[in-house]
Structure formats: C-alpha cells, structure tokens
Amino acid sequence: MKDNHPLVVQLTENIETVEQWSRGPQAREHAAWLTRAVAWDVVLAEKMTWAARKLGEQGSDSWPARDLADEGGIERVLRSGLAEVVAGPGDHVISHVNTWHEALGKGRCHVAAASGDDLRWLRERLTLPPPKGAGPQSQQSLADYAKRASETRDIVRVDCGGAARLVVGILADRLVPILRE
C-alpha cells in the first residue's frame, strides 16, 4: 500500500487529533467513520487471542496459569471475548483510538512501508493458533478469523514518536490496525 492511502491518512489524522474530537460534537462522526473503516472483528479477535494466550502462559493474580486450562478458564475467557468480537467495538471505538494514541506517542504520525520484521510479526499475530485450553467451538471460531485475516494486504507502519507503532493492512477495503508495542 502506498503510504498516502486515503484510509490510512484519515486513520492517522484521527489518532493524532483524538484528544480534540473525542470530547467534542464531532465524536459521533469520527466514531462512525472508524466503525466503518476498520475490520474490527479481525482487530478484536487478534487482541483477544493474544490476551488469552498470555493469560494461559502467565496466569493472573487470582488464577495461576496451570489452573486456567485445567479448570476451563481459558475457554470461558475465549467465549466471552468471542461474544465481544461478534458484538463489535460499539461505544469503545474511541477508547481504542485513545489507546493507540497513548502507545504511539503524541507526535505527528508518519506512515512508511512496513519492514520485513513488521510483515512477519503481523502475519504471525493475525494467524495465531488458538491458545491451550480452547474448546472445539472457540478453536473453530479463531481458525475462521485467522483464515480471514490471512488475506490482509498492503501493509504499512505508522510511527508517531513513541515506543510503539501501528502496523496497518487492508482487508476487503477495510483497515486492520494492530498495535505493536
């Protein structure tokens, strides 16, 4: 993808200016555009799969990792997460953009070709196998999202002066922005 693709340009403008528009009368208009322009099902499935994988490996304060798979904890996390993926981002669109803005830095964003490392990382993240402890239905749902996500093309990177970057591709005329920290 060219670094001046109109969808990417508008996405970066939304990220750079989220502090202004998210509190004003334009918030609804911006959120509606973001809802239409981003393949949220893929973005949220990647985020949920990665979080479930980390939880299964590291556990949490209230649930040791070794108990999560044995007690069906990962499957419960996945079912809840998959329900959220199906429901879409809803009113949380702006909070996702705020998260990107905070992680990317508050400078001017620059779009450039993705490096080979970014390409490998994104392909891996979008096609993660289901985490240990996933039940058959969750495994199938995650496999379906991974198959769809594997069609992501024209990948660029967005840097805004912070430690993280956004790796963005196009999937069926929609953006797939994944935060790389």
Per the structure, the complete domain to which residue 141 belongs is given by: 6-180
Q: Is 68 within the bounds of a domain?
A: yes
In DSSP terms, which residues pair with 169 in a beta bridge? 176
Q: Would you list the DSSP string of 157-178?
A: EEE-SSS-EEEEEEETTEEEEE
Q: Is the pTM of this model over 0.95?
A: no
pLDDT value at residue 170: 95
Quote the CA–CA distance of 103 and 60 in Å, as a whole number.
23
pLDDT value at residue 37: 97
3-class DSSP state of 18: helix
Give me the helices (H) in 38-115, please. Answer: 40-58, 65-70, 73-87, 93-104
3-class DSSP state of 23: coil
pLDDT value at residue 67: 55
Cβ-based neighbours of 132, under 8 Å, separated by 6 or more: 56, 69, 74
Domain count along the chain: 1
Q: Is 1 within the bounds of a domain?
A: no
pLDDT value at residue 60: 57
Which residues of the chain fall short of a pLDDT of 50?
A: none
Quote the CA–CA distance of 103 and 163 in Å, as a whole number.
7
